[in-house]
Structure 1
Amino acid sequence: MVLASQTFDSSELKAKWGWFVALGVLLLIFGFIAAGNLLVATVASVWFVGMLMLAAGIVEIIHAFGVKSWGKFFLWLLSGIFYAIAGLLVFYNPILAAGVLTVFIAVSLVASGLLRIWVAVSGRVGNGSGWVAFGGVITVLAGFIIFSGWPANSLWVLGIFLAVDLIFQGVTFIAFGLGLRKA
């Protein structure tokens, strides 16, 4: 987010256009590697989530010792311990964790798609509400498609999300860098 008081020197940014293109090419390569190894990409995604959960659990345990009240200390400590254990379980069985995350994604897609449809139909926010409803239908369908293939698709769904994200980010950075060069 750029604050009103912040300004960027466009000439300085323009001078770095090649770095944006290089980053884009690297992300594009990583995206194609991930697309070629969806199981590995899925496990890598799950391990990343596990590392974050473990780190958050450790921080929460440390935070518990800063709480002065013993009742709240034990609640924070227990919460941190559970979070850290969940992170460790991800490393112990990443395929099971991928299954859990995949079904969570499917349910989340269906819920958010239904919410978008409801907002579009009930609010009639303007001329674009039909597009919001259409987007909601697509999101619901994506959730049902993922859920219909579960648990077998748990081996590749997270990997394909990672691959697609890396590819789009790569294309975006390449386009941004080339745009800076032309400016």
Structure 2
Amino acid sequence: MVLSPGMNPLTDVRAKWGWFVGLGVVLLVFGGIAAANLFWATVATVYYVGMLMIVGGAVHLAHAFQVKAWRETIAWALSALLYLAAGVLAFVNPVLTSAVLTLLMAAALLVAGIFRIFAAWRTRPEKGWGWLMAGGIVTTLAGLVFLLGWPVNSLWLLGLFLAFDLAMQGWALIAFGLALRK
């Protein structure tokens, strides 16, 4: 689609303001649930990732034996075993896994925050863009806090991140959706 001068690319988005508000409310509720017990939010996150890695590793291993060449089968099987080992490690040693996940989440937060800031900057003419910008800045700052406290605070901090990020993005989307409605 080619925009002619004076066309607002957010006209279609404005009509969907209720979706922004609805998603914001859902994220805010989930953030409250996670904040109620940071330790269990961290453990749930570690176990969830571990289960996904075990399932992914098992599927990967099944795929390895579908490959016809012996060399490729070995490479795929070794890759699958690494996935399986990482998934099992999440259940055997959730403290170590939470430290590794915390480090990875710090990197992901930094990247996500920068992208959210960029997205907010692109919606600048619209009311409420500042809320999106604030959400991006907070996400970026959360990534920096993760890096500074790592690994000492990784067990409870992963749960705190989950709760805080869900709540902040919930509020940002609610505010942006309500601003679009006006």
Query: How high is the TM-score relative to the length of structure 2?
Result: 0.63
Residue 37 of structure 1: aligned partner:
37
In the TM superposition, residue 75 of structure 1 has moved relative to its aligned partner by 1.8
Distance in 2 between residues matched to 1:139 and 1:180, nearest whole Å: 27
Cα distance change, pair 39–140 in 1 and its aligned pair in 2 (3 A): closer
Q: Supply the AA of the counterpart residue of 2:12.
A: S
Q: How many corresponding residue pairs?
A: 145
Matched to 1:145, the amino acid is: L
**Residues 13-162 of structure 1: matches in 2 within 5 Å?**
14=15, 16-102=16-102, 142=145, 145-147=148-150, 150-151=151-152, 153-162=153-162
CA drift of 1:141 comes to 6.6
Deviations 1:89-136 (A, max 9, x none): 212332331133335667x69xx8xxxxxxxxxxxxxxxxxxxxxxxx
Q: Indicate the residue corresponding to 1:170 in structure 2.
A: 170
Cα deviation for residue 162 of structure 1 reads 1.0
Gaps of 5+ in 2: 3-8, 111-140
2:148 and 2:176 mapped to 1: Cα distance? 33
**Cα RMSD after superposing both structures:** 3.3
Question: C-alpha displacement at 1:51, in angstroms?
Answer: 2.7
Q: Residue by residue, what CA displacement relative to the aligned partner does 1:11-70 show, whole Å, maximum 9, x if unpaired?
A: 8x62x4334312211211221232231111111221232133223212321321232211
How many angstroms apart in 1 are the aligned matches of 2:26 and 2:142? Answer: 30
In the aligned structure 2, how far is the partner of 1:104 from the partner of 1:78? 23
Gaps of 5+ in 1: 113-137
Structure 1 segments of 4+ aligned residues over 4 angstroms from their partners: 103-106, 138-141
**Distance in 1 (alpha carbons) for counterparts of 2:169 and 2:143:** 24
Give the 3-state SS of the residue equivalent to 1:156 in structure 2.
helix
DSSP-derived class of the 1:162 partner: helix
